[in-house]
Amino acid sequence: MSDDGKPGPASALGKAPASAGRIVLVLFTLLMVFAGLMVHRGILREAKRTKARAEMAEICKAIAIFLSLNRPLRGDPADLFRPMAREGSDPILDMDIGDDPWGHPYGFTIDGPHAATITCLGADGAPGGEGADEDIVLRWPPPKDPPPR
């Protein structure tokens, strides 16, 4: 305070940093919340892709078992889910794989008596795309790596 009892410049300056500090704290908190949400979305997006790959790998295992029983693949992928007379009443693939993690059906094509392709179209459910929309494709048997040069 100055000699006449009125607040002086030093008092006014003393209050400004406190209110500016609160604003900075609020902005920092909002930034951290926003960053946390963005990280959460990224983790969730990748978790769905990981789940799709795992489910598709289970389908590939079922194809391998089916082929090991000396049964060629035919045009109907439902054969993998039907009970096998030779093995009792259990289907080869004992899981419901109807839809991918985004709610779209998996693509399944038989490429020959001993080959198949399983496709997940990603978050957008359309062919192609990048990031979360990128397709995931697994082939059975897995393609062999080219020989080193």
Please give the pLDDT value at position 3: 58
| pLDDT of 24 above 70 | yes
- Asked if 68 and 140 count as a contact pair (C-beta separation under 8 A), the reply is no
Distance in angstroms (rounded) separating the CA atoms of residues 116 and 14: 74
Which residue matches tokens 């000396």?
A: 70
- Which comes out higher in pLDDT, residue 84 or 78? 78
For the segment 90-105, the average pLDDT, to the nearest whole number, is: 76
* Predicted TM-score of the model (pTM): 0.62
Please give the pLDDT value at position 110: 84
Sign of the torsion formed by the C-alpha atoms of 120, 121, 123 and 128:
positive
- Asked if 91 and 82 count as a contact pair (C-beta separation under 8 A), the reply is yes
Distance in angstroms (rounded) separating the CA atoms of residues 137 and 149: 26
Which H or E run includes 22? helix 9-68
Cβ-Cβ contacts under 8 Å for 106 (sequence gap 6 or more):
55, 56, 59, 97, 98, 99, 100, 118, 119, 120
| pLDDT of 120 above 90 | yes
